[in-house]
Chains A and B, each alone.
Chain A
Amino acid sequence: MNAPDRFELFLLPDGVEKVTVSPDQRMPNAAFIKFEREDHTLGNMLVKQLQQDPRVLYAAYKVEHPLFANFVMRVQTEDGYTPRDALKNACQTLIVQLKIISRKFKEGYSVMSMLE
């Protein structure tokens, strides 16, 4: 049949960039960032983290078409701060949080499995 292969959801084809940053022509310090082969798992997490950043004025994402495994994020920041830096910081913060969660889970789990 003509159904697309399932692996197209997560396998980045040759010659396709994972992220493409293009500036918003209408205003400064704003950019559209296209994420290839990613979905709400990454999009929602990143956008919510960006919105915690006081120097980020606007952050949102959309999955333009359900059949295509990509989403577009728009980020607008204050002067002297770029959307790209904001995104990198968001990634960093989330990684740090995940590391803490992972560590605390291991501790809690080893205690709990000894008890049971």
Chain B
Amino acid sequence: MAEPEVTVRKAGKDNVDVVLENMDLSLVNSMRRVFLSEIPTVAIDLVEVEANTSVLADEFLSHRLGLIPLDSSLANELEYTRDCDCEIYCDKCSVVLTLNAVCNTDSTLDVYSSDINVAVPARSDDSIGRPIQSSTDERGILIARLRKNQELRVKCIAKKGIAKEHAKWSPCSGIAFEYDPWNKLKHTDLWYEVDADKEWPKSKNCDYEEPPNLHDKFDYNAVPRKFYMNVETTGQLKPDVVFERGIHVLETKLAEIALALSKAEEETDW
């Protein structure tokens, strides 16, 4: 098989569009699966509610807080709490965030994710755990709305984790994945009323491949070789970082297996 080829079609702020060639479907699918669920990021995992007089229940609020994307570019510097020496959490394995809001006016007060502060930015770079700010909306995500005299006083502990444990740790909001846009391989059976060609819209990826020739015989030996992938992130990690770290996670997985096999070989004569 020829060497794998990678073409980056678009490098956006929170998405990257790539075309991958000369590799197996299974490999690209594994990459997709790892990007979605096995890249470590940081998310709020513990919430200590000191005061909550809003209309939202504590657990409801905690759930909302957990889903807020936090900057995870330095997530690799953080330990997993389960590997850490501390009992519940410490500086090595967590980032403490605080949210304090009181409404003193007659109008409602909106509490946004930009109101969350990193309590102790003790680390070399204080970007870790900071709620993501998109350029279009400076205030961030709406967490709660407070009426007069309602108060929120919350301490949040953000921890490192992967999306296999909870989807809040997923750095990807979605991955578009396509191969064989002309359906030459007949992996898809398109439903139709009269004519499938007319009723189904063509994918934009069709421009990158030769249309099928009507008189060609079906090639039953053909395998997919060109894959179109668009990785969209939640902002926790930059899309190129998702790509690189995802591949690294896969490499580590394979290396771990190779190592375990060598180890098992030494122990048995088989």
Contacts and interface: CB of A to CB of B under 8 A. Distances in A.
Interface of A: 6-7, 9-11, 17-21, 23, 35, 38, 40-42, 44-49, 52, 84, 87-88, 91-92, 94-95, 97-102, 104-106, 108-109, 111-113, 116
Contacts of B20: 101
Interface of B: 1, 3-12, 16, 18, 20, 23-27, 29-31, 33-34, 38, 82, 162, 164-166, 240, 243-244, 247-248, 250-251, 253-258, 260-262, 264-265, 268, 270
A42 B257 contact: yes
A7 B80 CA distance: 12
A45 B30 contact: yes
Nearest to A18: B260
A46 B254 CA distance: 9
Contacts of A45: 24, 26-27, 29-30, 250
B34 A41 contact: yes
A106 B244 contact: yes
B222 to A, nearest CB: 16
B33 A35 contact: no
A101 B26 contact: no
Given A42-B253, A84-B261, A116-B12, A104 B26 contact: no
Contact of A84 (B12, B247, B265): B265
